[in-house]
């Protein structure tokens, strides 16, 4: 946090300034030119991959894309749409009841459950997919047991749904991604004051109809944000659908590029995906269009959770434990079993090297993204003009890009930079330095920053949004220049948002796979690429320890995140 930029105060001497006409707010003139220009430059830098993609996509249609369009493109799009809506719907069904229970009622073990419910987020979807396939396929323990009990002898004797299908992918992704929705909805439910719920109850609502008519509509912006996040994650998922052999737009991008080597077709496919993402984002923005909530009267309105009894308690417990078990406990136990049984196979020097690689890359990306988020978030708050939200929006578009698409977008400008740099150096008769940008982990860190800055930006933005505007006025009238206000009021108040953003970017970067697969320097493996290699080769058992480390690394920030949420509750 040492390199936090500070705003420069613009000193206005009332009589020297020749400003005429309309009333202007000071804050509009308050930021220095460096900050303003810096914000736009940073935004453009992080936006270059998108520009590169748009440039590639607008190139004339090549043969391969024309062929795709005439044959399988329809299926790809249909599968993608089905996958996103399926994961969304299933996510709603899974997450909303759990969020409501955790926010409003008292059940045994609630303290543990409320963070256990977040843990599936730490599970790489392809690991979960692998484990369930292992459990549910013909030779797996479930079907074996079924045959033993019933006496059926072969697959022809009975029907068993194939996990390696679109439906299977929906279930796996929903199980891993529902915590996004759960977290956002739970927070929203907890923020509602008891009096609003009471008012609806007194006006004749049963608890259920109060939930449907008051709580859900009030939490709708949060719910839609959660859905949008899940949708974007689903769209970006490559490993699960690839493993299940479900052709979607994402796998198509991968295949057209690696299989046919057509950047053109890949870029065109990703342009279609970009449209889907824009729909999801505008849905989220639209749902928040009239939401302006500031923190007020903190501490006065503590609500008491009602304790559940009888069948309600049983049902609530069953629901929450089912989510935790299916999304986390069961796959984690199987993974642990692999680890113990194949420990000597997976405990080796590669593991250490690749862990350090992942850590390095993730810390770099998280730090970079958090600084970007702070810089741009403050720009947006202090520079109250119509255009000041554009840099943040530009940066956030990176999240829309599936990893493999992003990789193409990142490589193009980085390769150009490398050529330029080497050209300059050689012009001064020094030996060329090689591919310092595109051929090093810089490429991955940059790609992650492009992809995950949105997470940090969102987190910082929402915590800045909760800082009441009167605090700005108060600090200014108490003698703070804009830069002091940022340092003494804004930054301390958004520290939690910064931390949350940092941790989220860190998790995402640890687990990120497709971009790493395509951008890693020669011989460089991250934990994720290494594990996926073993998943593809149907021998995850031998990389179980690496997969476990991936899970554990994702767990730590989640637990911290939950701690800070709990502290906020108190």
Partner 1 sequence: MTALNISGLSCQYDQTTVLSNLDLQVEDGEIVCLLGRSGCGKTTLLKAISGLLQPSAGSISLHGREVSSARGTLPPEQRSIGMIFQDYALFPHLTVFHNIAFGLKDLSRKDTRKRVEEMLELVNLSGLEKRYPHELSGGQQQRVAIARALANNPSLLLLDEPFSNIDSQVRQRLVREIRDILKQQKVAGLFVTHSRDEGFAFADSVAVMHEGKILQRGRSFDVYNRPANRFVAEFMGSGNLLPCEIINSRTVSTPLGLVESSKEIAAKPGQVAELFIRPQMFSIEKCQCENPADPAQIKSQQFMGTNLRTEVKLKESILVVENSIPFPESTAVELSVQPHDLVLFDQKGHSL
Q: Which of the stretches 123-131, 175-183, 277-285, 475-483 binds partner 1 when contact is defined by CB under 8 A?
A: 475-483
Regarding 568 and contact with partner 1 (CB under 8 A), the answer is no
Regarding 194 and contact with partner 1 (CB under 8 A), the answer is no
Regarding 153 and contact with partner 1 (CB under 8 A), the answer is no
The full DSSP string for 439-504 is TSHHHHHHHHHHHHHHHHHHHHHHHHHTS-HHHHHHHHHTT--HHHHIIIIIHHHTHHHHHHHHHH
Regarding 11 and contact with partner 1 (CB under 8 A), the answer is yes
- Cβ pair 125, 176 in contact under 8 A: yes
Query: Least separation, in Å, of the C-beta of 483 and partner 1?
Result: 11
Cβ nearer to partner 1, comparing 23 with 427: 23
The tokens of 185 are what?
A: 């909805």
Query: Least separation, in Å, of the C-beta of 289 and partner 1?
Result: 19
> Site size for partner 1, by CB under 8 A?
45
Nearest to 534 by CA among 305, 239, 290: 239
Query: Least separation, in Å, of the C-beta of 201 and partner 1?
Result: 24
Q: Which of the stretches 182-190, 434-442, 489-497, 533-541 binds partner 1 when contact is defined by CB under 8 A?
A: 489-497
Cβ nearer to partner 1, comparing 9 with 363: 9
What is the phi/psi pair of residue 483, to 5°?
A: -70, -35
Regarding 563 and contact with partner 1 (CB under 8 A), the answer is no
Regarding 297 and contact with partner 1 (CB under 8 A), the answer is yes
The full DSSP string for 382-399 is HS-STTTTHHHHHHHGGG
Q: CA 78 to CA 372: how far, in whole Å?
A: 36
Q: What is the DSSP letter of 305?
A: P
How far is C-alpha 384 from the geometric centre of its chain's CA atoms?
28
Q: CA 444 to CA 427: how far, in whole Å?
A: 29
Regarding 292 and contact with partner 1 (CB under 8 A), the answer is no
Select from 2, 19, 111, 340 the one that contacts partner 1 (CB under 8 A). Answer: 19
How far is C-alpha 381 from the geometric centre of its chain's CA atoms?
23
Regarding 296 and contact with partner 1 (CB under 8 A), the answer is yes
Provide the 3-class DSSP secondary structure of residue 297: coil
Chain positions 233 to 252 lying near partner 1, rule: CB under 8 A, are none
Regarding 1 and contact with partner 1 (CB under 8 A), the answer is no
Regarding 298 and contact with partner 1 (CB under 8 A), the answer is yes
Select from 481, 536, 542, 562 the one that contacts partner 1 (CB under 8 A). Answer: 481
Regarding 477 and contact with partner 1 (CB under 8 A), the answer is yes
Cβ nearer to partner 1, comparing 165 with 385: 385
Nearest to 305 by CA among 190, 199, 185: 190
Cβ nearer to partner 1, comparing 135 with 493: 493
The tokens of 226 are what?
A: 């959660």
Interface with partner 1 (CB under 8 A): 9-27, 30, 294-300, 468, 470-471, 473-481, 484, 488-489, 492-493, 495
């Amino acid at each position: 946090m040492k390199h936090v930029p500070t705003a420069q105060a613009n000193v206005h001497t009332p009589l020297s300034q020749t400003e005429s006409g309309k009333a202007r707010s000071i804050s509009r003139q308050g930021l220095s030119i460096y900050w303003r220009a810096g914000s736009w430059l940073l935004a453009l830098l992080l936006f270059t991959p998108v520009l590169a993609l748009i440039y590639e996509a607008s190139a004339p249609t090549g043969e391969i894309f024309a062929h795709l369009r005439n044959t399988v493109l329809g299926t790809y799009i249909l599968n993608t749409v089905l996958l996103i809506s399926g994961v969304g719907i299933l996510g709603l069904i899974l997450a909303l009841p759990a969020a409501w229970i955790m926010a409003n009622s008292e059940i045994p073990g609630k303290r543990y459950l409320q963070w256990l419910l977040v843990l599936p987020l730490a599970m790489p979807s392809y690991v979960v997919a692998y484990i369930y396939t292992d459990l549910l396929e013909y030779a797996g323990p479930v079907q074996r047991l079924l045959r033993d009990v019933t006496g059926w002898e072969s697959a022809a004797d009975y029907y068993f749904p194939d996990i390696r299908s679109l439906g299977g992918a929906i279930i796996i992704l929903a199980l891993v991604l529902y915590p996004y929705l759960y977290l956002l909805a739970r927070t929203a439910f907890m923020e509602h004051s008891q009096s609003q719920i009471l008012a609806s109850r007194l006006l004749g609502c049963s608890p259920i109809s109060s939930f449907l008519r008051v709580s859900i509509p009030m939490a709708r912006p949060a719910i839609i944000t959660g859905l949008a996040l899940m949708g974007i994650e689903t769209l970006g998922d490559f490993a699960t659908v690839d493993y299940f052999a479900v052709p979607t737009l994402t796998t198509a991008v991968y295949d057209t590029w690696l299989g046919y080597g057509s950047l053109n077709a890949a870029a065109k496919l990703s342009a279609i995906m970009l449209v889907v993402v824009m729909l999801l984002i505008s849905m989220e923005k639209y749902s928040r269009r009239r939401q302006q909530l500031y923190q007020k009267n903190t501490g006065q309105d503590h609500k008491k959770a009602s304790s559940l009894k009888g069948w309600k308690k049983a049902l609530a417990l069953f629901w929450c434990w089912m989510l935790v078990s299916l999304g986390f406990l069961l796959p984690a136990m199987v993974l642990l079993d692999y680890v113990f049984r194949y420990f000597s196979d997976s405990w080796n020097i590669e593991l250490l090297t690749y862990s350090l690689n992942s850590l390095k890359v993730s810390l770099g990306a998280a730090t970079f993204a958090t600084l970007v988020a702070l810089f741009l978030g403050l720009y947006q708050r202090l520079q109250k003009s119509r255009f000041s939200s554009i840099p943040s929006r530009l940066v956030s578009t990176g999240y829309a890009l599936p990893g493999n698409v992003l990789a193409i977008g990142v490589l193009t400008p980085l390769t150009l930079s490398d050529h330029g740099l080497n050209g300059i150096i050689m012009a001064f008769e020094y030996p060329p330095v090689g591919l310092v940008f595109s051929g090093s982990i810089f490429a991955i860190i940059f790609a992650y920053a492009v992809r995950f800055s949105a997470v940090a930006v969102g987190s910082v933005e929402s915590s800045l949004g909760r800082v009441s505007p009167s605090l700005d006025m108060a600090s200014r009238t108490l003698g703070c220049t804009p830069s002091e206000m940022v340092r003494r009021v804004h930054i301390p108040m958004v520290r939690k948002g910064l931390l949350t953003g940092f941790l989220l970017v860190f998790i995402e970067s640890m687990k990120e796979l497709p971009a790493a697969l395509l951008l890693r320097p020669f011989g460089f493996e991250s934990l994720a690429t290494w594990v996926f290699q073993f998943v593809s080769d149907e021998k995850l058992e031998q990389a179980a320890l690496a997969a476990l480390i991936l899970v554990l690394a994702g767990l730590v920030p989640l637990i911290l995140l939950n701690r800070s949420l709990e502290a906020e509750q108190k």
